[in-house]
Amino acid sequence: MKQFFAAANQGIFGYGSPVTMGLFRAILGSFAFINYLMIAIDFDAWFTERGFVPIATAARWNGDSWRFNPLAGVSETWIVAAVYTIVTIAALFTALGLWTRVSTIVLALGTIALHHRNPIILHGGDTVLRQGVILLAVAPCGLACSLDRLLGLAKGKLAGPPREVSLWPQRLVQYQIAVIYFTAVWAKWQGNQWRDGTATWYPPQLTEFTRFPFPEFLDRQPFTMMTTYGTLVVELALATLVFHKPLRKWVLGAGLLLHGVIEYRFNIPLFAFMICSFYVCFYEGQEVSSWARRFGERFKRFKIQVPKMSASPASEAVRATDPFGFLQESSNESPGAARVWSRCIGAWFLLWWPPLWLGWFRKAFGVPGGLR
């Protein structure tokens, strides 16, 4: 028993690479940003007193239970719009990993505030997003895959690989996924249509809910029975078997297939993308890093020869933008900044400020950085 608790303690609170949480932050932050841009189109309809959900209506929906809702009594549109804009910018900064600690906290608090301001339009994807950004806010998710790290390297404040961190936030993301699927299966199992194998017949018949066309015969038996029970099996596996490493990739692959079909067939904006972004957290940071290296080897035709970089902080930053190892430091040929940039996926996120990249490039290679 003592050994079990020691192993559990190590598994949950042990230390490891922060790369996975950094990647998760970048992916979920991107979807949060897209999500807020999409809703902004109808901001007037959903977040103002002129809209479908004035604050009194939202308050009634929320009930008597106290909630974190700084917008509860705010009827001025410009204040809500300002908050919305700040949250959207925080989502962008979270995706980029810029001022990560602050931006993730602002994104989490802002998301909670907006969801409590108008809870009536929320779907499952929004709840997934909210849980994800709350976990990001308590995680050291800016230590990898972030502009914070690149800037720290370039300024000489950081060096070498990212420091190891306690993995409990990553374990909480995994646990959150398990809770989602476990309770979803339990809730479904209470319905007779899930038990008799006909449940998946109904949603595609709802004309307001469907999206892309699908072959009609696949909505007949025996396919309906296969998809009904298949959904239950896959969801149960995503709550249980996914923790067994030999089965992990198969279970996650089945989950991707399940959500891919849902995304194709039904109009639930970003739900599949958001929930599937959690899947990356089932891989350790070292696994993600080594996968990137293997990816680089597999696509070695994209590798380019560059001169050996100087021993400067800027070189560390340039190397950190190249997780796939596409830069081969062996030639004397003068590299072009744009060509190097094209191989360094981390540098793609510097496009909003090209002088920053050009500065690092010049210092790393000791040559003028023309965009050629």
Partner 1 sequence: MHPVIKILVIFHCVMILLWSLPNAPQSFQAWLNKGATPEQLANAPRPVGSQWLLVWNHKYFKSSPLHYYLTATGIWQYWDMFAPNPSNLDHWADARIVFADGSSKIVPYPRMSQMPIPIKYFKERYRKFLERANMDANAYLWPPMAQRLALTSTSDPNNLPVSVFLTRHWKYVQPMDKPQPAKYSEYMFYEHVVDQARLKKDLRLAQ
What CA–CA distance (Å, rounded) separates 283 from 24? 11
Residues 6+ apart with CB under 8 A from 109: 68, 137
Asked if 65 touches partner 1 (CB under 8 A), the answer is yes
Asked if 197 touches partner 1 (CB under 8 A), the answer is no
Q: Which of 19, 21, 39, 96 is in the footprint of partner 1 by CB under 8 A? A: 39
Sign of CA dihedral 117, 279, 239, 221: positive
Q: Which of 176, 240, 312, 342 is in the footprint of partner 1 by CB under 8 A? A: 176
Q: Which of 4, 5, 212, 217 is in the footprint of partner 1 by CB under 8 A? A: 212
Rounded to a whole number of angstroms, the minimum distance from the CB of residue 357 to partner 1 is 33
Asked if 211 touches partner 1 (CB under 8 A), the answer is yes
Q: Shortest CA distance to 114 belongs to which of 138, 81, 65?
A: 81
Strand-pair partners of 266? 210
Rounded to a whole number of angstroms, the minimum distance from the CB of residue 343 to partner 1 is 33
Asked if 75 touches partner 1 (CB under 8 A), the answer is no
Q: What is the DSSP string of 175-201?
A: HHHHHHHHHHHHHHHTSHHHHTT-GGG
Q: Which of 72, 184, 345, 356 is in the footprint of partner 1 by CB under 8 A? A: 184
Residues from 249 through 278 that contact partner 1 (CB under 8 A): 267-269
Q: Which of 122, 218, 247, 338 is in the footprint of partner 1 by CB under 8 A? A: 122
Q: Which of 6, 7, 13, 330 is in the footprint of partner 1 by CB under 8 A? A: 13
Residue with token string 């998946």: 200
Q: Which of 123, 155, 293, 300 is in the footprint of partner 1 by CB under 8 A? A: 123
Q: Are strands 304-306 and 165-166 parallel, antiparallel or unpaired?
A: unpaired
Asked if 54 touches partner 1 (CB under 8 A), the answer is yes
The pair of structure tokens assigned to 241 is: 């078997």
Asked if 190 touches partner 1 (CB under 8 A), the answer is yes
Asked if 192 touches partner 1 (CB under 8 A), the answer is yes
Phi, psi of 200, rounded to the nearest 5 degrees: -75, 0
Residue with token string 């089965």: 247
Whether residue 117 contacts residue 55, with contact meaning beta carbons closer than 8 Å, is answered with yes
Rounded to a whole number of angstroms, the minimum distance from the CB of residue 102 to partner 1 is 18
Task: Give the Cβ contact number of residue 359 at 10 Å.
Answer: 15
| Candidates 81-89, 186-194, 251-259, 282-290; binding stretch for partner 1 (CB under 8 A) | 186-194
Q: Which of 1, 2, 41, 160 is in the footprint of partner 1 by CB under 8 A? A: 41
Q: Shortest CA distance to 170 belongs to which of 343, 286, 330, 302?
A: 286
Asked if 120 touches partner 1 (CB under 8 A), the answer is yes
Asked if 345 touches partner 1 (CB under 8 A), the answer is no
Q: Which of 26, 83, 107, 134 is in the footprint of partner 1 by CB under 8 A? A: 134
| Candidates 52-60, 85-93, 297-305, 343-351; binding stretch for partner 1 (CB under 8 A) | 52-60
Residues 6+ apart with CB under 8 A from 275: 124, 125, 128, 177, 180, 259
Asked if 166 touches partner 1 (CB under 8 A), the answer is yes
Total residues contacting partner 1 by CB under 8 A comes to: 77
What CA–CA distance (Å, rounded) separates 139 from 148? 15
Whether residue 117 contacts residue 123, with contact meaning beta carbons closer than 8 Å, is answered with no
Asked if 304 touches partner 1 (CB under 8 A), the answer is no
